[in-house]
Structure 1
Amino acid sequence: MARQVTSTSLTQAVADHLRMRIHRGDVSPGERLPAERELAEQLGVARISLREAIRQLREDGYVEVRRGSTGGTYVTELRRPAEAWRARMREQAGEIDDIVDFRIALETQTATLAAHRRSEATLAPVQESLGALRDVIGRTAFRQADSRFHVALARAARNDRLTDAVETARGELFSPRDLLPFREPVEETLRDHQAIFEAVRDGDAGLAAEAMRAHLERARRQLRAIVFGTDHDTDGDPEWSSA
């Protein structure tokens, strides 16, 4: 029997979607969400459902509503939801490893398919993301360039379900990097991304999968450092290779 869709479940779905976008870094701390009418149209929902979803996000500390000439709904500094996420990861033993294991299975297969199905048209956005990473200034640009790479690679695999799954899995690993001490490892991340891209471009599916696995295993260690305070570098900051 099909489950009935209620206004409550729709509101929750909208709130979860916006929360996922914030987790992935699509919208960063301090950034303004689109105006209510525009955002409701983008999501294809009634404004009342969007309003309720925004209320939920406000209560959870994700957004704040500002008044005045520059008013609107803005993403907060995420300190409260970040700490709530870290506490949940600490309490749920093995959760981080489960999510990273899933991402490895997902994205190594994505890299494999991309190597088999690549074309000039699908590789162009992947290569453009490398250029964006080389030119980043600031953490927001760094996060966005990293996200562009993984999504573009998933699209190069030419499987819409894989692309959706990659985006969802990235959203589950809420690592609020703007709040935590770390050195932006542009060179290390660029090296990883470049190795994956070259293997895909050359049609070497095995090497592409191996490079992606190494990239995500590095991310596993770094996420554990953020959540549990282990595997820090010598200056006390977690080593970071964005993933």
Structure 2
Amino acid sequence: MSTKQEPEEERGQAPRQAASRTVVAEALRQRIALGGFAPGDRLPTERELAHTFGVGRNTVRQALRELADEGLVSTTLGRSGGTRVTPPGSGGGRARAAISAGIRASLRDYMEYRQAIEPYAARLAAERGSGAARRELVALLDTEVTDLGAYHRTDTRFHVGLAEAGGNEVLAEAVVRARAEMFVGGNALWLGSDWSGVYPTDRDFGLAFREEHEAIALAVLAGDGAEAEARMRAHLEDSHRQFLVLLEQFAGRD
């Protein structure tokens, strides 16, 4: 009887393993997209990831293979090896083609979606966010930002923190998902791009972060919902223009 049941168990396990692989891959993909793992960072070992997600090592291995196929990570053997986030520009032609097609096709849609949700999230943060949460947003303006990677991580903390401050969990989750889906794969594009078309070559990224977010943070701190909403909308419009400049540069390299 056990011999007859084994194929059925295996058939039952296959969909579950596929679902688990998808969950693991998406979680890692999102963390890479939001800057939790910077280019060149080594990911936790398969054993550690399996323990974190409560899955088997084979499921983790398949998820990492999926990310490798997308050009997001690469694996090397040896004592100093492991799986690392692919540095900008080293993903190869296939990864660059996928990045270009994906970002080019979805940038407008994601920016329109962000325009629909993030200005209102800023209004909610101003009108009902706790004093501590609002002050924390202002404090982020003084974060040391030394390069584009640090800018991206701090930018994520600001936008997600602002959405969370409003107290609407559904809206906050939407902001996180929109950013993750927009940036996944695109980090290699925007972190590896020549930003001189957007910023001067000697640009202080810490100063840039402050200038681009200060008006929003101060409006939120003051409890001015209408001003916070308007400032966020203007900020997203500027961000969209910056991405369009980078996409034009990237297209010119094809």
Q: Same fold (TM over 0.5)?
A: yes
Matched, 1:35 2:45: yes
Change (3 A) 1:66 1:180: same
**AA aligned opposite 1:24:** L
Deviates more, 1:150-159 or 1:72-81: 72-81
Partner of 1:153 in structure 2? Answer: 162
Give the whole-Å Cα distance in 2 for the aligned partners of 1:22 and 1:172.
11
Alignment of 1:1-243 (within 5 A): 6-79=16-89, 80=91, 81-90=95-104, 92=105, 95-132=106-143, 135-174=144-183, 175-176=186-187, 177-182=190-195, 183=199, 185-229=205-249
Shift of residue 121 of structure 1? 2.5
Given the two structures, how large is their TM-score scaled by the length of structure 2?
0.79
Number of aligned residue pairs: give it.
223
- Please tell me whether the aligned partners of residues 129 and 146 of structure 1 are also in contact (alpha carbons under 8 angstroms): no
Shift of residue 67 of structure 1? 2.7
> Comparing both structures, which one devotes a greater share of its residues to helix?
2
Shift of residue 215 of structure 1? 0.6
Shift of residue 50 of structure 1? 1.4
Given the two structures, how large is their TM-score scaled by the length of structure 1?
0.82
Change (3 A) 1:128 1:32: farther
**AA aligned opposite 1:39:** L
**AA aligned opposite 2:131:** E
Runs of 4+ residues over 4 Å off in structure 1: none
Q: Unaligned stretches of 5+ in structure 1?
A: 231-235, 237-243
Identity of aligned residues (%): 37
- Please tell me whether the aligned partners of residues 192 and 211 of structure 1 are also in contact (alpha carbons under 8 angstroms): no
